[in-house]
């Protein structure tokens, strides 16, 4: 909802979301690639529109049967001061960081301590390293039915 001038968001509403999935590791890799692709495309569009993505984290992404849902995007803002390539780097880094967080939390729920399991931490870091695009992710996951199979 905008104020009378139409320039400032003064409130927003949220819809009710279905129950969240407990652990992303057991979902098909196609789910991961498809949802990463959707969010990646959204990040690219936001960047083209000079929107800085702030506060995108694993805590702000719901995992549902119908896909990933980003919530709590009230801190995103117009940024005409930052160079386009820098803004792209910032926004894509936020997305990759959020996906790393989703998988780190999922592994911790399975009892895998990432401080002790450096190999698991490396797998996640490599899976969502800077430069990861939907096509790159699809190639990295092509041998696996579910991401749990990586670990």
Structure pTM? Answer: 0.85
Task: List all residues 6 or more positions away from 73 whose beta carbon is below 8 Å from its beta carbon.
Answer: 53, 55, 56, 60
Cα–Cα distance list, 71 to 6, 80, 151 (Å): 22, 24, 29
pLDDT at 2: 54
Burial class (CB in 10 A: 0-12, 13-18, 19+), 138: middle
Burial class (CB in 10 A: 0-12, 13-18, 19+), 10: exposed
pLDDT tens for residues 33-67? 999 999 999 999 999 999 999 989 999 999 999 99
More confident residue, 1 or 140: 140
d(CA 68, CA 81): 30
pLDDT tens for residues 66-115? 999 998 888 899 999 999 999 999 999 999 999 999 999 999 999 999 99
């Amino acid at each position: 909802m905008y104020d009378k001038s139409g320039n400032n968001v003064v409130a927003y509403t949220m819809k009710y979301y279905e129950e969240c999935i407990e652990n992303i590791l057991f979902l098909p890799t196609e789910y991961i690639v498809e949802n990463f692709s959707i969010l990646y495309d959204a990040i690219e569009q936001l960047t083209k529109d000079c929107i800085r993505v702030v506060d995108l984290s694993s805590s702000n992404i719901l995992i549902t049967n119908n896909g990933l849902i980003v919530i709590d995007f009230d801190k995103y803002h117009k940024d005409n001061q930052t160079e386009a390539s820098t803004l792209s780097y910032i926004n894509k880094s936020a997305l990759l960081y959020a996906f790393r967080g989703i998988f780190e939390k999922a592994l911790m729920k399975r009892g895998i301590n990432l401080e002790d399991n450096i190999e698991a931490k490396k797998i996640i870091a490599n899976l969502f390293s800077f430069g990861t695009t939907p096509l790159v992710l699809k190639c990295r996951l092509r041998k696996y039915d579910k991401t749990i199979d990586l670990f």
